[in-house]
Amino acid sequence: MHKATESASTSRRPACSAGDKSLVVENLRKEYTRGKPVLKNINLTVAGQCTTAIIGPSGTGKSTLLRCINRLIEPTSGRILVSGQDICTLRGSDLRAARRRIGMVFQEYNLVERLSVMENVLCGRLGYISPWRAWLRKFPQEDIERAYDLLDMVGLTEFARARADELSGGQRQRVGIARAVMQQPHILLADEPTSSLDPKTSVEIMELLREVASVNDIPVLVNIHDVTLGRRFADRVVGMSKGDVVFDGVPGDLTDEHLKLIYGGEDWLA
């Protein structure tokens, strides 16, 4: 066994509280082309308030993993349990109900540009109201009050009536986070949420995601290319290479040898 791989198998994992809000991935496999797996029997358990950074080179399956978890793409085999329910077995209305428990923050924000910031945040409740209320954008008062609370949390209260296309990239990502939390999810997934942002804003977004995990008592999984940010803000780091998990432990256990195994090459750190 490679030295770094051996260390990874015995890495310490963070002591996060295990509550009802949890994610368990068992033997997850994804093939776009038969016999050529992008994900190779991934096993992962995340619970409590843990912020988990998933690192690895482009094309190694990080985004595919998140998209399997929220069923944007279909796994080839395996199980994905969100708060104890296997979402791989669900279809139709049952799947739509399960997706309400999975918040998603996208790399490119995925906001409705012509709508206001407040309306975009309230979109997080569309799965909870009737189609005619959604079409008329008639939300319960308690949802509106919660949306204002979340805008306060992300520092955008004064922009509530502004159109989404008037915001900066960092502000848009904050709206995306507020919208995801508006779902009252059991887990939150973030796919490269800092890739289009400057260093200062990237730090602010990672701080905010960690706060979301703590305040809402939910696991947050973040795909991230910036290893330094991942180490700084995550309770746990999962390193992927060629569709496999090759490191899983606390940031302090992530060594240069592990990074060479994850990213390849002997001098990439230079």
The domain total for the chain is 2
Listed residues 184, 205, 234: the one ending a domain = 184
Listed residues 184, 218, 248: the one ending a domain = 184
pLDDT in the model for residue 31:
95
Q: Are residues 136 and 72 in the same domain?
A: no
DSSP per-residue codes, 106-148:
-TT----TTSBHHHHHHGGGGGGS-HHHHHHT---HHHHHHHH
Within a domain: 152:
yes
Paired tokens of 163? 């159109």
Listed residues 169, 184, 199: the one ending a domain = 184
Nearest of 255, 38, 193, 200 to residue 247 by alpha carbon: 255
We report the CATH number of the domain holding residue 229 as: 3.40.50.300
Q: Are residues 78 and 118 in the same domain?
A: no
Q: Are residues 125 and 253 in the same domain?
A: no
How would you list the strands of the sheet with 244-249, edge to edge? 102-105, 187-191, 220-223, 51-55, 236-241, 244-249
Within a domain: 16:
yes
Within a domain: 106:
no
pLDDT means per 10 residues, the chain with 270 residues, are: 39 58 94 94 92 94 95 95 92 90 91 94 88 79 95 96 95 96 95 92 95 93 95 96 95 94 71
Q: Cα separations (Å) of 124 from 26, 71, 112, 151, 260?
A: 28, 17, 12, 13, 40
Domain that holds residue 130: 112-184
Q: Are residues 165 and 265 in the same domain?
A: no
pLDDT in the model for residue 4:
43
pLDDT in the model for residue 170:
94
Within a domain: 107:
no
Query: Please, is 125 exposed, middle or buried when counting C-beta atoms within 10 Å of its C-beta (0-12, 13-18, 19+)?
Result: buried
The strand pairing partners of 206, in sequence order, are none
